[in-house]
Amino acid sequence: MNEVILTSDVAASAARPHGLGAWLTTTDHKRIGILYVATGLAFFLVGVGFAMLMKTQLIRPGMHLLTPEEYSQVFSMHGTTMIFLFAMPMLIGVANYVVPLQIGARDMAFPRMNALSYWLFLFGGLLLYSSFAFGGALDTGWFSYAPLSLPAYSPHDGVTFWTVSLALLGASSIMGAINFIVTMLRFRARGMGLWQMPIFSVATFLNSFLILFAFPSLTAAIAMLYLDRHYGTAFFNPAKGGEPIIWQHLFWFFGHPEVYILILPAFGIMSEVVPVFSRKQLFGRNTMIIMLGVILVLSFLVWGHHMFTTGLPTLFNTIIAGTTMLIAIPTGVKIFNWLATMWGGSLRFKPPLLFACGLIALFTVGGITGVIQGAVPFDWQANATYFIVAHLHNVLIAGTVFAVFAGIYYWFPKVTGRFLSDRVGTVQFWLTVVGFSLTFLPMYALGLLGMPRRVYTYAPDLGWNTLNLVSSIGGYILATSFIIFIYNLVRSARSGEKAGDNPWRAWTLEWATTSPPPHGNFNALPPLTSERPLWDLQHAVGASAAVDPAAAVWRPLAPVPEQSTVTPFFVALSVLLVAVGLLSTPVVIALGAGLLLVTLAIWMGGRWVEPEIETVPGRRFSFMGVGMVVFIGSETVFFGALIAAIIHLRIHLPQSGAGTHLATAFPVINTTILVLSGVAVHYAQVSYRKQRQGSFFLLLVLTIILGAAFLGGQAWEYTHLGFGLTASLAASAFFTLTGFHGLHVACGICVLIYLLVRASRERRRGTGAASPGTSGMVDAGTYYWHFVDAVWVVVFIVVYLL
């Protein structure tokens, strides 16, 4: 069959830079994707090393390879590494590389923010590991249950390093999620609706909302934990009247969606690999998309099944048990969709399909054991045993790691222009399956025999010896398979068989350009008549039958995007300095904040052009406005989590407010000032759109003055309250809520000052009209300020009136 592939012609674009400097300054989504994947693999090897230390410690009774304290640090850092530093970054990296290509985009919507999100991820990981050099690493598990994570039980700074590092990693993830959402909403090729995007892109799109609405709950939890450890508050300290159960609610409201954050993109990879290697269209494509959406919603309704043993009401446990079992239905539908796609297909058992088949078989086992745990009486028996460890790994390794391997074998020719070795890949697959089965299946039996998780050794007369020996041997086999995979990557990148532009005869747009793709990805795109545009071109079906496929191209794309800038690296470095200050002294925080303002000013000082190809009549939001609306949704969850925690404290611990009195007269005046600032900024936006420059400047200055007055009033109130942060739980809640809100107001003032400077510069240049770039920034700044106003109204009611 003759293949028709449309390649890019970007000879006019500047030559790509080379060397280390090119990687430090890149904003190309493809290079950033490679950086994510390479860094994730490096952390993966470290995590595997930790796992092998644990398996060696447990290979027989009474081993003394690790002390109890060392073992606690090893298993805690293993879990954190695999979740936050390997699995998520790997999937984000693959999506970074593939999604813009699949939707026909030049790059991500915010290329600089894309680079910044990578550097925050890298610095967050390095900061986390630096804890080993400062007294000890995290030793309370990747979930850090309170009060075990408080200084009384974990006196060194490992947990504090963990909280600050996770703040950086969370910021990185949220930036990435915003970027993916805006890119897919605004930069798809003409003719490609959201429903017509390739399944991997759809899964990434939905997954981005999971990240946006799950991570803020964790951010709120670690903020309160940091305050408990660093400043002596008592949100989670029962000895001082706190409530540890709040930690579990907030953490697992993030933690269970996190499982699906790691699974949804894996399902997307499966839905790309299985049809191509079955030579059939995906069975039940629309159903697949609907089920992905159902999982997204249900994933937020099952967090409580991690808390069946905490004494929650029976009705709550019953509801959570029902949703836990219900979420198995959309997952099962996808398994049957993949099997139906393969049924009767022309199967090509290359490594991508082998790993896909391995996922179907082994992930199903993990899913079934998850449904079993939805039965409350069984969970009471299996909770905190090795049964849970087996289930978690059965889901995440079989579901995520197998899919990652399938995706890398599938897209490696696109990234490098070379194949990974099929022979080595087949050997790796079978070693992975055998090693996985020997490692984790015995853990189910160990859990049922009563072996608790997190135990660093065991007595020889408990009946666990043989199963632990088999599990440890399986671990060594599994680790060997991973080393073989790394060998295959390195060897094939240098001397693998050349692949060509579309070696798999695939149908989505990433295969419509050269391998590897050039900077800018495309010069033109094929017409999009279905979700399989290259299939349509190859077979000249439907509306394109009368058109010469080789000549059928879309109009030219937007200009080639910016290729490199060093500002994201230095902005991330400034944020890292602030993080170091949070672990040391306020002086370092001030230095970091000052450097951050300088680097952001340099970043924003350049020419900012709205990169949308055309203005759509009736479109309300600019692409920057869309990004801000999405960010506001995430921040709403953050404040919602803080407020929910405080309301929980007031309901269950009525004495938490003893000794704290808040007057309302002055706060009412301060609230009025902030509300008036919202009115001013609204009319400033209206004036800008109508090109009334004088009114715009006047109203924007008025907004800034009112915002500064509000902050000044809040500072005055702080100094006249008569109590401090640690006076009571109510005092801690007051300072935490109002303090975070004040920080948001300060950030909003900085944004408005930037808009004032930018618009003044345009006025001096005499452009005579609102520029698209500044218009988008004005929209974003206005939406943010309205959000700050709305949050304060809720905070005022909760803090002063309830």
Beta-carbon-side half-sphere exposure of residue 27 (alpha carbons within 13 Å): 20
- What residues are labeled active site? 78, 107, 142, 172-173, 256, 258, 260, 271, 305-306, 331, 334, 453
From CA 356, how far away is CA 353, in angstroms rounded? 5
3-class DSSP string for 45-88: HHHHHHHHHHHHHCCCCCCCCCCHHHHHHHHHHHHHHHHHHHHH
From CA 391, how far away is CA 371, in angstroms rounded? 10
From CA 561, how far away is CA 611, in angstroms rounded? 9
Which whole-number Å values give the CA distances from 549 to 197, 513, 541, in the listed order? 21, 15, 10
What number of residues does the chain have?
Answer: 802
Other beta carbons within 10 angstroms of residue 40's beta carbon come to 23
Apex 641 CA angle, 640 and 645, nearest 5: 115
From CA 100, how far away is CA 109, in angstroms rounded? 9
3-class DSSP string for 628-654: HHHHHHHHHHHHHHHHHHHHHHHHHCH
Phi and psi at residue 71, in whole multiples of 5°?
-65, -40
- CA torsion angle for 616, 624, 795, 714 (degrees, to 10)? -130
Other beta carbons within 10 angstroms of residue 423's beta carbon come to 10
From CA 283, how far away is CA 765, in angstroms rounded? 58
Return the SS3 of 26. strand
Which residue in 660, 590, 578 sits closest to 168, CA to CA? 578
Q: Residue 528 corresponds to which amino acid?
A: L
From CA 288, how far away is CA 338, in angstroms rounded? 10
Residues 273, 278, 279, 280, CA torsion sign:
negative
Ordered alpha helix ranges (H), 245-396: 245-261, 264-278, 285-298, 314-326, 328-342, 351-373, 376-382, 386-396
From CA 529, how far away is CA 407, in angstroms rounded? 26
- CA torsion angle for 22, 28, 29, 32 (degrees, to 10)? 10
From CA 382, how far away is CA 52, in angstroms rounded? 24
From CA 759, how far away is CA 700, in angstroms rounded? 11
